[in-house]
Amino acid sequence: MMDHLANTEINSQRIAAVENCFGASGQPLALPGRVLLGEGILTKECRKKPKPRIFFLFNDILVYGSIVINKRKYNSQHIIPLEDVTLETLPDTLQMKNRWMIKTSKKSFVVSAASLTERKEWISHLEECIKHLLTKTGRQPCTEHAAPWIPDKATDICMRCTQTKFSTLTRRHHCRKCGFVVCADCSRQRFLMPRLSPKPLRVCNLCYRQLLADKNKEAEADRRQTEPIRSATQGYEPSSGDDSDKSDDEKAEQWPADTEFYTSEVSWSSFHS
């Protein structure tokens, strides 16, 4: 299907329509060989509350955004490379049905479909695209994923100290490493995680200690690797740059050799064929 739709007029028109709906705030989506395979509304679990989001599945990327006017205007465009995606099916809850998690190295989040059939369709098409991409590029599936943020309403107390109660004055914060909802006292530290951001991010005290310990272990391992090199060169003085009176043979002898959800049965998704 991907090969059949690639570089066709109908595919170009569909992609142009998506670009037009995002307007100037969105990035260009048309690329040679890129195919729009399907689209639909999924409910995304956000920090404050679940919200409907429009999703577009291409053969190499997943695009989603906020709905301003259905089928006419979207904003807050997000683009996720599919070769960085891993999927995990989740059990239903009282408030949320037909759930699964979209995991990437930079961001992970939970979505819900309107029906079980719709969820199966989304997961099936996503997995097919991911498998095709990984086979094409020769890359291995991503094994490191960002933790999803636990919604604010999931807890009224800090999930680390279990003492601080949240209120209008006592704000909730999220650890960027584990995704837990924590108080300010339990998340005063910042840690640089280049995979997530070029700037140090807020982390809870427990994750900070673990990250610091891992960093120290890596530094110690690097030190041990470089120690034999330092030992081999120990005792040698830097050259003065001047010629000496020693013969070339005598010089040679000195040197050694050597990283609220949709629960109705209304279909919200469609995949192009």
Asked if the structure places residue 253 within a domain, the reply is no
Asked if the structure places residue 231 within a domain, the reply is no
Task: Answer whether 55's CB lies under 8 Å from 62's CB.
Answer: yes
CATH number of the structural domain spanning residue 178: 3.30.40.10
d(C-alpha 9, C-alpha 32), whole Å? 12
> Structural domain tally of the chain?
2
Domain that holds residue 44: 2-145
Asked if the structure places residue 187 within a domain, the reply is yes
Q: Are residues 129 and 188 in the same domain?
A: no
Task: Answer whether 159's CB lies under 8 Å from 150's CB.
Answer: yes
Q: Are residues 156 and 130 in the same domain?
A: no
- Cβ-count burial of 186 within 10 angstroms (0-12 exposed, 13-18 middle, 19+ buried)? buried
Q: State the pLDDT confidence band at 247, using cuts at 50, 70 and 90.
A: very low
Q: Name residue, tokens 């205007």.
A: 73
Question: pLDDT tens for residues 211-246?
Answer: 999 999 988 888 888 776 555 545 544 444 444 444
More confident residue, 3 or 37: 37
Q: Are residues 11 and 118 in the same domain?
A: yes
Q: Are residues 49 and 118 in the same domain?
A: yes
Residue 3 confidence (pLDDT): 63
- Mean pLDDT in residue range 131-150: 88
Q: State the pLDDT confidence band at 263, using cuts at 50, 70 and 90.
A: very low
Q: Are residues 24 and 153 in the same domain?
A: no
* For residue 269, pLDDT beyond 80: no
Asked if the structure places residue 267 within a domain, the reply is no
